[in-house]
Amino acid sequence: MWRTLKHFLLFAVLQFGGFALNLTLLVHAQDQSGFISIDCGLATNSSYTEKETGINYISDESFIETNESKPYWSLRVFPQGTRNCYKINVTRGTKYLIRASFLYGNYDDQYRLPEFQLHLGPNLWDSVKFESASTVANKELIHVPLLNYIHVCLVDTNKGVPFISAIELRTLPNTIYQAQEGSLALDSRYPDDIYDRFWYGYDRDEWTQLNTSSSINTNNTYQPPSVVLATAATPKNVDDSVNIFWLPSDNTAKYYVYMHFAEVEKLPGNESRQFNITRNGELYSGLFAPKYLSVSTIFSLSDWSRGQYITLSIIKAGNSTLPPILNAFETYMVKDFAEPETNQQDGNNYWSS
Ligand SMILES: *[C@@H]1O[C@H](CO)[C@@H](O)[C@H](O)[C@H]1NC(C)=O
Ligand SMILES: *[C@@H]1O[C@H](CO)[C@@H](O)[C@H](O)[C@H]1NC(C)=O
Ligand SMILES: *[C@@H]1O[C@H](CO)[C@@H](O)[C@H](O)[C@H]1NC(C)=O
Ligand SMILES: *[C@@H]1O[C@H](CO)[C@@H](O)[C@H](O)[C@H]1NC(C)=O
Ligand SMILES: *[C@@H]1O[C@H](CO)[C@@H](O)[C@H](O)[C@H]1NC(C)=O
Ligand SMILES: *[C@@H]1O[C@H](CO)[C@@H](O)[C@H](O)[C@H]1NC(C)=O
Ligand SMILES: *[C@@H]1O[C@H](CO)[C@@H](O)[C@H](O)[C@H]1NC(C)=O
Ligand SMILES: *[C@@H]1O[C@H](CO)[C@@H](O)[C@H](O)[C@H]1NC(C)=O
Ligand SMILES: *[C@@H]1O[C@H](CO)[C@@H](O)[C@H](O)[C@H]1NC(C)=O
């Protein structure tokens, strides 16, 4: 699971324990207002409903601003031009989860993984690299556009032809994931997750899993899905702490972490579960007891340390009879987009407006 840790922890939305999804239950429970789901390379005007999630995808044809592309097996390639953009209408001032997905799949029979850049307007969002031809690279951002549109751009860096498989936008409540500045980046679904965040299973050898078949009250700002909270990691050894750690990908990166807790066991009167949380050894959150079948989220109010390992430890309190638990957590890296979006038309030949 280290690969998962390294790859996803930095930007990711993670889930502990196994999946026990009952998708049918939720498919009709939520609507897709605020969702823009674009399947790049799909034939003009066509659309479809993806079976597992029930999400409606549409063709990217009306969003591309250049005609330098050609559709190919549900991805779109940009063999010409250094910079090619999608212009997508949004509601300015609204918080969006923006996800761009890339699956190479050796579509060109070249067996050469390309490498290129992804930009949001004038700002570098991330570099797109692949671990293999069959791995999906997901790039995600939480962003509040200042204009009524955004530009999602692919920039050729002479390391292969840029392409894109899908672009998805989901609106989030403005109260969720408050960063001090900039936009939040994550790497990780609907319909379990009303905001269509991606959650990944995560496990470590020294952990075991607690679970419940009851549903969990997830009614807080973050609304993590009940199925995600129904499982919790706990140390095999009662006195151990639950530790999660990662090395920041660059030493200027800033991270926000959200830990979600819910007690999944009905505790008898003589048992208690209480813990403290430390970050790199310093007390981060004092004595805490998760509520039975009800979510509590502990999050960082400001950014965290730079350039060194970040270790979070959930430590059993002295008088607690039970070991600590962690049901789910999310980490976000802060991206500083220095260029204002209003500059995004400067020096660009491809944008038509
Ligand atoms: C999923 O949930 C529905 C509605 O509660 C239920 O009828 C169905 O049996 C469940 N399916 C599984 C596989 O648990
Ligand atoms: C796509 O839809 C538009 C508007 O409905 C129509 O004008 C156009 O001819 C359609 N294109 C194709 C290729 O079907
Ligand atoms: C794009 O290019 C193709 C051929 O090069 C042409 O047939 C088509 O009309 C062009 N579409 C637009 C929107 O310019
Ligand atoms: C985006 O908004 C502009 C201006 O309001 C409008 O002209 C254009 O048709 C819209 N594009 C799409 C794809 O909805
Ligand atoms: C909880 O997990 C155990 C094994 O880890 C499994 O046997 C059991 O069926 C699970 N219970 C629920 C309610 O998911
Ligand atoms: C969720 O909580 C809010 C405020 O605490 C409350 O107004 C709302 O009715 C709750 N929703 C549900 C489904 O419990
Ligand atoms: C609580 O009570 C149960 C049953 O009476 C017992 O098995 C358990 O060891 C007790 N726990 C503690 C911490 O005393
Ligand atoms: C947990 O935090 C409390 C203060 O909130 C402190 O008194 C206690 O010593 C801490 N326990 C451990 C095990 O760190
Ligand atoms: C454990 O100790 C803390 C004070 O350190 C106290 O607030 C808490 O109620 C105690 N819990 C139990 C179960 O005794």
- 231 Cα: distance to centroid of ligand 5 (angstroms): 9
Q: Are residues 111 and 37 part of one domain?
A: yes
Rg (CA), the chain: 21
CA nearest 130: which of 150, 110, 149? 110
Whose Cα sits closest to atom 2 in ligand 7?
270
Task: Look up the CATH number of the domain holding residue 250.
Answer: 2.60.120
Whose Cα sits closest to atom 14 in ligand 4?
89
- 315 Cα: distance to centroid of ligand 8 (angstroms): 9
Q: Distance from first CA to last CA of the chain, Å, rounded?
A: 46
Q: Are residues 314 and 267 part of one domain?
A: yes
Q: Are residues 154 and 90 part of one domain?
A: yes
Whose Cα sits closest to atom 10 in ligand 7?
270
How distant, in Å, are the alpha carbons of 195, 231, 281 from that of 18? Answer: 21, 7, 29
Tell me whether residue 10 is in a domain: no
Q: Are residues 237 and 286 part of one domain?
A: yes
Q: Are residues 227 and 170 part of one domain?
A: no
pTM equals: 0.66
**With a 6 A CB cut-off, is 22 part of the ligand 1 pocket?**
yes
Q: Are residues 175 and 45 part of one domain?
A: yes
Tell me whether residue 348 is in a domain: no
Tell me whether residue 108 is in a domain: yes
Whose Cα sits closest to atom 13 in ligand 2?
44
Starting from the CA of residue 319, give the closest ligand. 9
Q: Which residue has the tokens 């559709």?
A: 71
Starting from the CA of residue 314, give the closest ligand. 8
- 89 Cα: distance to centroid of ligand 4 (angstroms): 6
Q: Are residues 54 and 94 part of one domain?
A: yes
Please give the Cα distance from 291 to 265 (Å, whole number).
Answer: 10
User: In terms of residue numbers, what domain contains 231?
Assistant: 207-335
Task: Look up the CATH number of the domain holding residue 52.
Answer: 2.60.120.260
Tell me whether residue 43 is in a domain: yes
Please give the Cα distance from 121 to 119 (Å, whole number).
Answer: 6
How distant, in Å, are the alpha carbons of 106, 113, 259, 292 from that of 110? Answer: 7, 8, 43, 54
**With a 6 A CB cut-off, is 20 part of the ligand 1 pocket?**
no
- 67 Cα: distance to centroid of ligand 3 (angstroms): 6
Q: How many CB atoms lie within 10 A of CB 215?
A: 12
Tell me whether residue 219 is in a domain: yes
Q: How many domains, the chain?
A: 2
Per-residue confidence in pLDDT tens, the chain, 353 aa: 122 222 222 222 222 222 222 222 222 334 677 788 888 878 788 888 877 777 888 888 777 765 444 444 578 888 888 999 999 999 988 888 888 999 888 888 888 999 999 998 888 888 999 988 888 888 888 888 888 899 999 999 999 999 999 899 888 876 666 544 334 433 335 556 667 777 767 777 888 889 899 999 988 888 888 888 888 989 999 999 999 887 766 666 667 788 899 999 999 999 999 999 998 888 888 899 999 999 999 887 555 555 677 888 999 999 999 999 999 887 777 666 766 665 544 333 232 22
Whose Cα sits closest to atom 4 in ligand 1?
25
Closest atom, ligand 1, to C-alpha of 22: 1
Q: Are residues 160 and 221 part of one domain?
A: no
